């Protein structure tokens, strides 16, 4: 696709950053609150990414606490496992998305029925597993005694786990709830309405499916370029060629707008429906700055190279790197202030008191530590401690000589 032939909207980097932050619920006015705020945000961006690691909350909880006032993890649990307004599912890798999106993933469920991993041994136990769930209720792999080892996409695993995951990816089961990282499954028909389970795929053709998914993924961030990267992960059957063709169709249909950001060579794309956000940003005078702690797999950070180009922030999650190869630490979170990433820190929890621990802190190069900024970051960390139900914040004095403004929370 020749991107140069499209009529581009030209904006500055600052305007691009502010638009993305507004789209992400990280720029004033801050209007997201409660269950309705969570649903509104996830509808806007399509999904948030799930990760089982829990240092100061799971990734999905960290993403929401940055945007939803007075967020508590229990509220997300209710939306997932009581209200059934949200689902655990495969989108941007393992994710959480709105239950109403179930029909759009019918293709994925149908493909799972024909997976090469569906060997005869696996197929033979599915009726027995189905019967056990029907009779016993929600079950985890620990509740089943199929202990043979079988090949599976992630690694060889117990037949019990493979059977449940196979039925889950086919759409016969959903995750009833989780006990820590352990998944407990139940029949989808017990929890989702029949009209939703029986709904046809809204995308009748592969082209329509590609267009829907590219459009959805642009909305997951707000502005996105047509370059291979993590922001495009998890989309089955869509590579560079399919993405190029989908963008061409979406441009022609007027569903997306090509945006040229000053100082960035590749064209970026935004959904036409999101242009009012940009118009508001272009009309805004300087507004108040809020500080936020972001999740390591936050939607804003999905395309690390784009974040570096726009925000001049180079961030890598280093949990899977050997200690000798880490630039910062095992589990390090970014700190956003206004439209700038100003710091990153390594958090922890005190096992006895439950206090939030700041193990390490790194200011970004060139950041001026004004009283106003430090005051706002202090308020941010008080909110963050509240989300964790932590009574106080503990600073590791051996490493933190530049955080006197935070030590009052001892």
pLDDT single digits (tens) 275-332 = 998 998 888 877 778 999 999 999 999 999 999 999 999 999 999 899 999 999 999 9
Q: Which range is least confidently modeled, 92-96, 254-258, 391-395?
A: 391-395
pLDDT single digits (tens) 185-226 = 999 999 999 999 999 999 999 999 999 999 999 999 999 999
316-409 is a CATH 3.40.1350 domain: no
**What does the pLDDT read at residue 405?**
62
Query: Which of 358, 357, 355, 354 is CA-nearest to residue 344?
Result: 358
**What does the pLDDT read at residue 396?**
76
**What does the pLDDT read at residue 182?**
92
With 0.85 as the threshold, say if the pTM is over it: yes
- pLDDT exceeds 50 at position 45: yes
115-191 is a CATH 2.60.40 domain: no
Q: Where along the chain do its domains lie?
A: 3-99+207-283, 115-191, 316-409
């Amino acid at each position: 696709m020749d991107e140069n032939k499209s009529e581009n909207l030209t904006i500055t980097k600052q305007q691009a950053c502010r638009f993305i932050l507004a789209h992400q619920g990280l720029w004033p006015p801050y209007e997201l609150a409660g269950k309705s705020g969570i649903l509104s945000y996830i509808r806007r961006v399509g999904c948030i990414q799930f990760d089982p690691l829990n240092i100061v909350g799971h990734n999905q909880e960290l993403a929401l606490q940055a945007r939803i006032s007075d967020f508590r993890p229990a509220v997300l649990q209710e939306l997932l496992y009581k209200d059934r307004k949200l689902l655990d599912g495969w989108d941007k890798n393992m994710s959480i998305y709105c239950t109403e999106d179930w029909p759009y993933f019918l293709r994925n469920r149908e493909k799972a029925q024909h997976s090469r991993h569906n060997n005869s041994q696996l197929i033979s136990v599915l009726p027995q597993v189905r019967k056990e769930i029907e009779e016993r209720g929600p079950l985890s792999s620990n509740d089943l005694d199929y202990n043979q080892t079988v090949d599976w996409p992630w690694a060889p695993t117990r037949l019990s786990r493979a059977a449940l995951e196979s039925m889950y990816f086919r759409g016969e089961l959903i995750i009833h709830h989780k006990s820590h990282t352990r998944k407990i499954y139940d029949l989808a028909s017990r929890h989702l309405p029949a009209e939703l389970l029986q709904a046809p795929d809204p995308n009748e053709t592969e082209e329509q499916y590609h267009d829907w998914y590219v459009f959805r993924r642009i909305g997951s961030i707000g502005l996105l370029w047509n370059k291979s990267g993590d922001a495009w992960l998890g989309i089955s059957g869509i590579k560079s060629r399919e993405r190029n063709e989908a963008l061409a169709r979406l441009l022609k249909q007027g569903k997306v707008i090509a945006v040229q950001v000053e100082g960035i060579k590749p064209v970026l794309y935004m959904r036409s429906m999101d242009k009012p956000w940009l118009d508001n940003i272009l009309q805004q005078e300087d507004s108040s700055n809020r500080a936020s702690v972001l999740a390591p797999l936050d939607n804003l950070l999905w395309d690390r190279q784009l974040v570096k180009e726009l925000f001049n922030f180079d961030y890598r999650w280093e949990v899977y790197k050997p200690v000798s190869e880490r630039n910062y630490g095992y589990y390090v979170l970014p700190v956003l202030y206004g439209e700038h990433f100003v710091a990153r820190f390594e958090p922890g929890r005190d096992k006895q008191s439950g206090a939030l621990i700041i193990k390490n802190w790194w200011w970004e190069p060139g950041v001026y530590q004004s009283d106003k900024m430090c005051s706002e970051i202090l308020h941010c960390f008080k909110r963050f401690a509240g989300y964790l139900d932590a009574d106080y914040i503990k600073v590791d004095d051996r490493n933190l000589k530049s955080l006197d403004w935070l030590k009052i929370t001892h």
